[in-house]
Structure 1
Amino acid sequence: MHPDQWRPRLSRRLITAMMEAMTSTGRQRVRDDRENSTVEQRLIEAVTRGEVLDLAGLAISAAVIRDLLRGRLGGDADPHGLRLRGARIDGRVDLENVTSDLALELHECVLPGGVDLRNAALRSVALVGCRISAAPGDVPVDATRLAARTLSLEGSTVDGTVRLLAARLGTLDCGGARLRNPDGPAVDADGMQVEQSVFLRDGFSAVSASERGTVRLLGATVGGQLNCGGTRLENTVGPALNADNLSVKQNVLLRNGFKATSAGEQGTIRLIGAHVGSLSWGGARLTNAAGPALDADGLVVDGNAFLDDGFTASAVSGAATIRLPGARIGGVLDCGGAHLANTAGPALDAGALQITHDLILANGFTATAAGDDAVLLLTGTHVGGALYLDTDGLTGAAPALVDLDGLTYTGLPRPAAAERWLTLLRSHTPGYAAHAYQQLAAAYRTVGHDRDARAVLIAQRRDHLARAGLTWSERAWGHITGATLGYGWQPWRALLLLLATLAAAVTLSVVAAHHNGLAAKPTPPTTLPAGGKAVACSTIDQVGVGLDLGTPLIKTGARDRCQPTDTTMGQLVTVAGWVLQLLAWTFATLFIAGFTSAVRKT
């Protein structure tokens, strides 16, 4: 054939090939230049139309999903994105570093190779009702530094870790998901940032055996709420929820049957240094077989903290079941109806806790503890509102039930019966604490109950003498002032004793005169009446001698006219007079000291 005859035929073939490349949708090719399978072609068409493709157990290559999200297959994709149901994804879905405006939705799919979302920027990712695992050495869901409006794992089952380190999400929804990892955390989300809310609720469960924690949210930031209603978390060696330095703007919800168990010394739930809007944990159950149930040193709560309505926490810890030292609560701490137990230490450690409003440890509140410490440690705690403390539900191995040293509150504590509180301070505290008595007395004085305030201060002095380790001389002086002055708060006692001394002196003088113990002085002194017998004193002089003996400083002049005789009775009057003078001076001095509060100040 002549060469010129090839030219038209070659041109026709070239034109035909170009037309097929421009118009055909049935001959798209993947990266390895293989023609797409029928299933993959159906997915490409579904993405173009915005439909959900239900494959009912058929397999599809993970590479197709990557190419679709990268825009390498098909025409213009519908805004609904890639939506697939019931498929088995062969291989690992590798979306590392992929940026796409398409949403990825996989419903009830099986992903034996897992998903790699590291450094990806996607519109949204939904892995709903899926079964996800990975090859040894891989992470089933690795979303480190993922940026997406929504990440959903609702109802999925994951064998391994869901890694969300430094991820930036609009919403994280893992409602109903079931996570299990025997070698590490089930959720590893340190440094994660979520603009709205995190949902680990509606039957969400996570089980692990990691000292790092089952669910890790260290340093994470949540702009909405952290909702763990109905969640179950388990860890056999470490925390169930490890959320130190967590920041949640709104509520942290652990209600509706929330349950967390652990056997680690770090605590079942850790919120050390966390900052949250409020806590709502009514009915939650926390258990730890080797440490605290809640460790929240330095926790900051902007609003209320509710550990009420059947909230239960049990621990085996020398530290405490619930640890809140140095925490700050901007509203109410309500533990009404809560049940705390510890078989190795205190039930509650709230030392230096700052509460803006009320502290409620009543309304069915119970706590049991073991060891030498008190059941409740409230040392240095500040309550800006009222204190509700019912000790009927407290049980401890030691006599001490509550350590109140340094506790401050506003108004009368409830219940307000002074005798009940005095029994608590005297018999059920670790040792003498002056501040606890002073705070209680000030509360009664503020509402005008001065009698109760004095009773509290008298009880304080008695407790001081009994348990403050004073010397014998200090205790002796204390007992003297207690008997004579009510420790300076009842100076009328010294006045009554002074009057009793005066009455005794007058009685002694009159009785002695009737038994020849007193006689009128002779005039002149050397002259005796006829017969050599002394003349009896007049009744007025007898009373005057008694007044002179029993009253300091005041003299009636009766002793110038009436004097003791040389008889035994007269000598008794002389000696008794010395004693009565000493007592009179003592009681008068004590009365003045008590009246001027000089004794009270010491």
Structure 2
Amino acid sequence: MDGMELTATEARVWEAYARGRTVDLRPTDGAAADSGAQWGPERTVRAEVLRALLLDGPRQAGETPLLRLTGARISGRLDLQYAEVAAPVHLWACYFDEELDLYGAQLRQLYLGRSVLPGLHAVALRVDGSLRMSGCRVRGPVRLGGARISGPVFLDGAELGEEGVRLTEPVLALNRVTVDGDLQADGGFTAHGLVRLTGAVVAGNITFDDAVLSNPGGTALQASNLSGGTDLRAMRLSAYGLINLRSARIPGRIDLSYARLSNPGGMALRASSLMVGELWFREAAPIEGSVSLRRSQLDLLYIVPETWPEQVHFDGLTYSMLHPHEPAERRLPVLDRDFDGYVPYSYEQIAAAYRRIGDDAAARTVLLARHRRHRTTLAWYAKAWGYLQDFTVGYGFRPGRAALWFLSLLLVGSVTYAARHPHALKPAEAPDFDPFFYTLDLLLPIIGFGQEQAYAAQGAYQSLSYALIVMGWTLATTIAAGVTRAISRQ
């Protein structure tokens, strides 16, 4: 190479490049790249040598150039800003002294698996194939904002940031990135700080299974306006800080089964205006911190009541199915925790979900609870009318109670007037007295059997007749109001 004398190690790398062969500098003891700062010249390659090799390296007829370097210490800053690199770059289990700079670069393929870096500056990077950072250890920020990756992105097992060291910027910035394959941040992926996926578009699956996102008191995952092609899997995720999925679009499933979401004193999950096929919290730990699902649209919501936190935001939440099937009495207390207080739409949603699976009794229980909750917001006179409807007919959702009241009043009147007949107003024209139909005449405000017009009770018995008339009208009015209301909701 003109103007630069190569070391023996660098000469090996230079010669292997043209034939696409691997140069593995690891000793037989298999020491990890974390100890790279102590590696000597036999394992060191200067960044300027790699830059020259990638931009103007040798070619050999019939061979495909490929940089395959394993277990090397990269000294100096590897600066490939705006560079167009035709050969795939595989820097496996390498140790970088300084931040890798790929700002605006165009690469065919980039593998950095199991490497140790102080940081990665790759804003607006273009990769024609895949980007692999499996098992990487990056102490500083990984900047990939606006990148375009034509294949998958692998971050499985990577660790970004340092525990106890809070950066002023995201440890992983994937905002406005476009990934034409999957995004895998699973297999023990750990981020000590903010992971930003704002406005990212991922054509395939997004996976955070077994990941740890730690930014206590702050935002652990900022994924507002995220667009996924299939599912977002985060099974067994441990998140310390806010998970923000506001306005995300996931056509398949967001799976938070067995996950732990913790942000005490703040919001643990913000998923307002979310559009997703299914949202799963199967056997997830009780959420520490509030949850917002305002205006979100789901086909299926899977969660047991114990998983919900002490404060929720449900206004405008729409879903078709609610699993697993639980008695209405176990679901209803969660609605009392809504930050907005009484939200009638939330009751309607649960009732509709019960009706879809044929559990009409549970649906009626929910709607009755809705009216009772609404009653607490009314003026005293409206509350009184509400209590009367509830006591007599359960707002129309307890028709058996109305029948019991009616039969009880009918029995009292029949027995009373059988013992003491009212006197006939016109004895010569009056029909034979019947205490049962006389009481029925008093109770029914419209239908008449001719008894009430022919006979009149006196004294205390007259007072009873007035009471039966009033209770009959009240019972009829509350039944009509309750039934009308119940029918209008179905």
Q: TM-score, normalised by structure 1?
A: 0.65
The 1:359/1:190 distance shift into structure 2, 3 A limit, reads same
The answer to whether the aligner puts 1:79 opposite 2:79 as a matched pair is no
**Is the CA contact (8 Å cut-off) linking 2:23 and 2:70 kept in structure 1?**
no
Could you list the per-position Cα deviations for residues 140-185 of structure 1 after superposition, in whole angstroms to 9, with x for gaps in the alignment? 21001111111111221112x211110100211111221112xxx2
Q: Say which SS state the counterpart of residue 304 (structure 1) adopts.
A: strand
Whichever residue aligns with residue 177 of structure 1, its letter is C
Paired with 1:520 and 1:68, the residues of 2 have a C-alpha distance of 120
The answer to whether the aligner puts 1:108 opposite 2:109 as a matched pair is no
The 1:176/1:77 distance shift into structure 2, 3 A limit, reads farther
Which residue matches 1:307?
256
Could you list the per-position Cα deviations for residues 177-233 of structure 1 after superposition, in whole angstroms to 9, with x for gaps in the alignment? 21112xxx2x11110110001111235444363232111111111111111122443
Which residue matches 1:296?
245
The answer to whether the aligner puts 1:57 opposite 2:12 as a matched pair is no
**Is the CA contact (8 Å cut-off) linking 1:501 and 1:580 kept in structure 2?**
no
Which residue matches 1:162?
120
Range that drifts further, 483-492 or 197-206: 483-492
Which residue matches 2:269?
322
Could you list the per-position Cα deviations for residues 109-166 of structure 1 after superposition, in whole angstroms to 9, with x for gaps in the alignment? 22221201111111222222221123xxxxx21001111111111221112x211110
The 1:78/1:70 distance shift into structure 2, 3 A limit, reads farther
**Is the CA contact (8 Å cut-off) linking 2:20 and 2:64 kept in structure 1?**
yes
Paired with 1:163 and 1:157, the residues of 2 have a C-alpha distance of 14
**Is the CA contact (8 Å cut-off) linking 1:48 and 1:77 kept in structure 2?**
no
Match of 1:250 among 187, 199, 204: 204
Q: Say which SS state the counterpart of residue 424 (structure 1) adopts.
A: helix
The 1:252/1:550 distance shift into structure 2, 3 A limit, reads closer
**Is the CA contact (8 Å cut-off) linking 1:216 and 1:243 kept in structure 2?**
yes
Question: How far has the Cα of 1:42 moved from its partner?
Answer: 6.2
Paired with 2:68 and 2:186, the residues of 1 have a C-alpha distance of 25
Question: How far has the Cα of 1:498 moved from its partner?
Answer: 4.9
**Is the CA contact (8 Å cut-off) linking 1:295 and 1:323 kept in structure 2?**
yes
**Is the CA contact (8 Å cut-off) linking 1:494 and 1:588 kept in structure 2?**
no
**Is the CA contact (8 Å cut-off) linking 1:285 and 1:313 kept in structure 2?**
yes
Whichever residue aligns with residue 2 of structure 2, its letter is V
Question: How far has the Cα of 1:388 moved from its partner?
Answer: 1.8
Which residue matches 2:387?
479
The answer to whether the aligner puts 1:470 opposite 2:379 as a matched pair is yes
Whichever residue aligns with residue 175 of structure 1, its letter is S
The 1:427/1:503 distance shift into structure 2, 3 A limit, reads farther
Whichever residue aligns with residue 388 of structure 2, its letter is I
The answer to whether the aligner puts 1:216 opposite 2:173 as a matched pair is yes
Question: How far has the Cα of 1:428 moved from its partner?
Answer: 6.6
The answer to whether the aligner puts 1:131 opposite 2:95 as a matched pair is yes
Paired with 2:81 and 2:249, the residues of 1 have a C-alpha distance of 33
Q: Say which SS state the counterpart of residue 117 (structure 1) adopts.
A: coil
Which residue matches 1:333?
279
Which residue matches 1:200?
155
Q: Say which SS state the counterpart of residue 261 (structure 2) adopts.
A: strand
After TM superposition, list the pairs within 5 Å mapping 1:381-396 onto structure 2. 381-384=317-320, 386-388=321-323
**Is the CA contact (8 Å cut-off) linking 2:44 and 2:72 kept in structure 1?**
no
Could you list the per-position Cα deviations for residues 9-49 of structure 1 after superposition, in whole angstroms to 9, with x for gaps in the alignment? xxxxxxxxxxxxxxxxxxxx7237xx877777666655566
Match of 2:240 among 287, 292, 305: 287
The 1:549/1:116 distance shift into structure 2, 3 A limit, reads closer
Whichever residue aligns with residue 322 of structure 2, its letter is L
Paired with 1:599 and 1:57, the residues of 2 have a C-alpha distance of 88
Could you list the per-position Cα deviations for residues 35-64 of structure 1 after superposition, in whole angstroms to 9, with x for gaps in the alignment? 877777666655566655678707666655
Which residue matches 1:367?
307
Question: How far has the Cα of 1:244 moved from its partner?
Answer: 1.0
Paired with 1:453 and 1:43, the residues of 2 have a C-alpha distance of 72
Identity among equivalent positions (%) equals 23
**Is the CA contact (8 Å cut-off) linking 1:30 and 1:64 kept in structure 2?**
no
Which residue matches 1:496?
407
After TM superposition, list the pairs within 5 Å mapping 1:11-26 onto structure 2. none
Match of 1:378 among 314, 318, 334: 314
Which residue matches 2:445?
none
Paired with 2:133 and 2:190, the residues of 1 have a C-alpha distance of 13
Paired with 1:206 and 1:595, the residues of 2 have a C-alpha distance of 66
Paired with 1:234 and 1:547, the residues of 2 have a C-alpha distance of 80
Aligned length in residues: 456
Whichever residue aligns with residue 211 of structure 1, its letter is T
Range that drifts further, 54-63 or 225-234: 54-63
Question: How far has the Cα of 1:378 moved from its partner?
Answer: 3.1
**Is the CA contact (8 Å cut-off) linking 2:146 and 2:175 kept in structure 1?**
yes
Which residue matches 1:171?
130
Question: How far has the Cα of 1:351 moved from its partner?
Answer: 1.9
**Is the CA contact (8 Å cut-off) linking 1:287 and 1:314 kept in structure 2?**
yes
The answer to whether the aligner puts 1:268 opposite 2:225 as a matched pair is no
Q: CA RMSD in A?
A: 4.0
Which residue matches 1:30?
2
**Is the CA contact (8 Å cut-off) linking 1:216 and 1:242 kept in structure 2?**
yes
Which residue matches 1:353?
296
The 1:247/1:43 distance shift into structure 2, 3 A limit, reads closer
Paired with 1:80 and 1:487, the residues of 2 have a C-alpha distance of 80
Which residue matches 1:14?
none
Whichever residue aligns with residue 274 of structure 2, its letter is A
The 1:436/1:328 distance shift into structure 2, 3 A limit, reads closer
**Is the CA contact (8 Å cut-off) linking 2:20 and 2:67 kept in structure 1?**
no
Q: Say which SS state the counterpart of residue 303 (structure 1) adopts.
A: strand
Rg: which structure is higher? 1
Gaps in structure 1 of 5+ consecutive residues: 1-28, 82-102, 135-139, 390-413, 513-517, 524-539, 564-572
Whichever residue aligns with residue 261 of structure 1, its letter is S
Paired with 1:457 and 1:48, the residues of 2 have a C-alpha distance of 75
After TM superposition, list the pairs within 5 Å mapping 1:538-557 onto structure 2. 543=433, 551-552=441-442, 554-556=449-451
Q: TM-score, normalised by structure 2?
A: 0.78
Match of 1:188 among 143, 159, 163: 143
**Is the CA contact (8 Å cut-off) linking 1:47 and 1:78 kept in structure 2?**
no
Q: Say which SS state the counterpart of residue 380 (structure 1) adopts.
A: coil
The answer to whether the aligner puts 1:119 opposite 2:82 as a matched pair is yes
The 1:592/1:124 distance shift into structure 2, 3 A limit, reads same
The 1:439/1:499 distance shift into structure 2, 3 A limit, reads farther
Whichever residue aligns with residue 176 of structure 1, its letter is G
**Is the CA contact (8 Å cut-off) linking 1:172 and 1:198 kept in structure 2?**
yes
Whichever residue aligns with residue 31 of structure 1, its letter is G
Question: How far has the Cα of 1:333 moved from its partner?
Answer: 1.4
The 1:153/1:315 distance shift into structure 2, 3 A limit, reads same
**Is the CA contact (8 Å cut-off) linking 1:441 and 1:456 kept in structure 2?**
yes
Whichever residue aligns with residue 381 of structure 1, its letter is L
The 1:157/1:40 distance shift into structure 2, 3 A limit, reads closer
Paired with 1:596 and 1:327, the residues of 2 have a C-alpha distance of 40
Gaps in structure 2 of 5+ consecutive residues: 26-40, 443-447
